[in-house]
Chains A and B, each alone.
Chain A
């Protein structure tokens, strides 16, 4: 045996499950698309910029095209008039994708219990994580992001995409 091969360090490989390594890779490379419609956007900016720095958790890249992103942040009030737009944005995103309802309006309609506002975006698209608050503190947003990462890590990693049913 040649000398060089003998001196190599012992561990050059690890054993893992395909699901868990795919989840690990996905949860730390979230590209997000901010669907910002209202005042919660200020808290989103605060969470995304240097003070609270969402990049520490691997979600630093904001993509302003739904086709390049895999986390949809619905930040603010969604009206009935805007509902088809949100649905189109969601449909344009490629799999795998996750949706975060950011703030009380996106979660449940909030104080706007009236003719104009959708009472929670889960009436239009499936939601993975709900972040309450009017508006939520950036810490709450980061906590929601950690919850989403936990969910991604433990979910079954579909990698042959089936058509999702609404």
Chain B
């Protein structure tokens, strides 16, 4: 019973912003509008649910669908010992979303990773620069339309 309580509460608090809310394999999943990410996350972080840990933050490229990209956030409540997944879609033309760095410090590097590999911009991120790839690397390697065998060597290759 308690499991779906958070979903009911979210439906009550954010009737327009939460598009879908359901449970799957023991985890709660909500699909939201991207503008409402910050208020919803702030709400979840506070009482009574206290989702106080950002486990992971990643992006999925659904090439051919519109909107193309999907941001996925995994939250965990240390007191309630429960996970929650937040999904939201981003279109390719407007590839930016609010940054969670003001709430969680670890969001800083996670968002830099997504920026480096997918090209998603995070508004009000304090230090949005690449983290994995080297200077001069062009394109976003984890996008589905990045050529499979495209190489961008830093040195001139022999032979």
Contacts and interface: CB of A to CB of B under 8 A. Distances in A.
Interface of A: 80-81, 83-84, 87, 113-116, 118-119, 122-126, 166
Nearest to B147: A115
Contacts, number: 38
Contacts of A81: 132-134, 154
B151 A84 contact: no
B154 A123 contact: no
Nearest to A124: B155
A109 to B, nearest CB: 10
Contacts of B65: none
B64 interface: no
Given A81-B154, A115-B150, 14 more contacts: A80-B134, A80-B152, A80-B154, A81-B133, A81-B134, A83-B154, A87-B155, A114-B148, A115-B152, A118-B153, A119-B151, A123-B158, A124-B155, A124-B157
Interface of B: 132-134, 141, 146, 148-155, 157-159
B157 A116 contact: no
Contacts of A123: 153, 157-159
Contact of B141 (A116, A119, A125, A126): A116
Contacts of B152: 80, 115
29 contacts: A80-B151, A80-B152, A80-B153, A80-B154, A81-B132, A81-B133, A81-B134, A83-B153, A83-B154, A83-B155, A87-B155, A114-B141, A114-B148, A115-B141, A115-B146, A115-B150, A115-B151, A116-B133, A116-B141, A118-B153, A122-B158, A123-B153, A123-B158, A124-B155, A124-B157, A124-B158, A125-B158, A126-B158, A166-B158
A108 to B, nearest CB: 14
A124 B154 CA distance: 10
Contacts of A119: 151
B140 to A, nearest CB: 10
A118 B148 CA distance: 14
Nearest to B141: A115
